[in-house]
Structure 1
């Protein structure tokens, strides 16, 4: 490990940048497995003959870049990028469980309201209709990964007091699980509020996703806008050529 991260103390490049550059190279080359823990800052300090302040500064730079992340009380880990299928209608909870992680939720809002004109048009309901407005921070393995704001016609859901953490499980229980939909993804920068919720730096890259899902008969059931961490997610879509190509 020490040889991999060796720095030139006589050089002009600050030591924390040398450490960050070396760590970055080895992470990108696959020398550190995704999800693996780095040695503690204390151990790195002793190993490299650097102050803990210098080591922390180098690690902080890679955390800002999204290559590393800290877990309170556990240490610093190599970020594991999540490949989410861009063409599958999966729930956040199901995706987390498929990776062997426990999904979690921090509720921001769970209330009944009237839809905005845009929401009413998307869901094809009257502006006087009753909708459930659901705002959540989505966690996987205790790490905040996304902010979701969903609007669902109230008729498709149980009473809000009976609504669990998974929206799709609640819809499925009443026979309203969506089977099709469209989503739009665009790159953006996190606002100060979003950055605080997701434990990332302000102006970090995020992916804004707008999703409209439908029942088998084409009835819209869910209109959701989300902000996903760009340092953690890759949305992957399989491509196929024209069916008549021989």
Structure 2
């Protein structure tokens, strides 16, 4: 880290309130000016404290605030780095769409990193929710969903094996693969809740340890009324807003 990026020796004389706020503003300004770019590492907290003649508690407070804002990310054993800016996206709750369709409407490229997929013996919950018979298997898809190569969501989907007999046939869009078999959902129930991500989930999504996510649980139905899909998606709360339009009844 060169002195041009963070002129820490000037911090004491800078205006802007308490010392931790001055340091926070200095780091943010360096990002805006391009002196600190995505992926750049900050000096160690001890080095920042020594160069600016402030306490490590003050440094930690400034960095904590920037981590909470998603501007910095801590990586265990590596240090603190400048995060890639995350565009916020709004998802309407009034339309039944796929992730791929959502991204396409935004002019973004949807992608997937497969974590697991195949045909398995169903769990008791899958058997009950999907209405499976005793010898049926379940198609499971577990993947990290990306938009323009940025991790956005962790998605876990289960379907009856007669609806999706070959999970490997799904390339990117599940609904597109099903449309080739003339299968598509006509309605769905969704339940949304806030959850804390597990450590392995934060690593996959590229967010700080202890981050929250929006959990969207979906049960989708065919026009016959049969359940065709049950899924749970964990969306980055720093990137996604779920929006519903409400009207007043007569």
TM-score w.r.t. the length of structure 2 is 0.74
Unaligned runs of 5+ in 2: 1-9, 38-46, 50-58, 74-81
Instruction: Report the counterpart of residue 177 of structure 1 in structure 2.
Output: 184
Q: For the structure 1 residues 86 and 194, does the alpha-carbon distance in structure 2 shift closer, same or farther, using more than 3 Å as the test?
A: same
**Unmatched 5+ stretches in structure 1:** 1-6, 27-35, 43-51
Match of 1:105 in 2: 112
Distance 1:202 1:67, change over 3 A: closer
In structure 2, relative to structure 1, the CA distance for the partners of 1:135 and 1:128 (3 Å cut) is same
User: Partners in 1 of 2:63 and 2:158 — Cα distance?
Assistant: 37
TM-score (norm 1): 0.75
Equivalent residue runs for 1:7-18 within 5 Å: 9-10=12-13, 13-14=18-19, 17-18=21-22
Deviation at 1:19, TM superposition (A): 4.7
CA contact (8 A) 1:123 1:221 kept: yes
* Pair 1:207 & 2:207 matched: no
1:87 corresponds to: 94
Distance 1:127 1:172, change over 3 A: same
Change in CA separation of 1:77 and 1:218 when aligned onto 2, cut-off 3 Å: same
Deviation at 1:137, TM superposition (A): 0.3
Deviation at 1:128, TM superposition (A): 2.6
C-alpha displacement of 1:8:
5.9
Task: Give me the CA root mean square deviation.
Answer: 3.3
CA distance in 2, matches of 1:216, 1:222: 13
Q: Distance in 2 between matches of 1:22 and 1:217?
A: 60
> In the TM superposition, what is the alpha-carbon distance from 1:184 to its structure 2 partner?
0.5
How far off its partner does 1:37 sit? 6.9
Separation (CA, whole Å) in 1 of partners of 2:33 and 2:227: 46
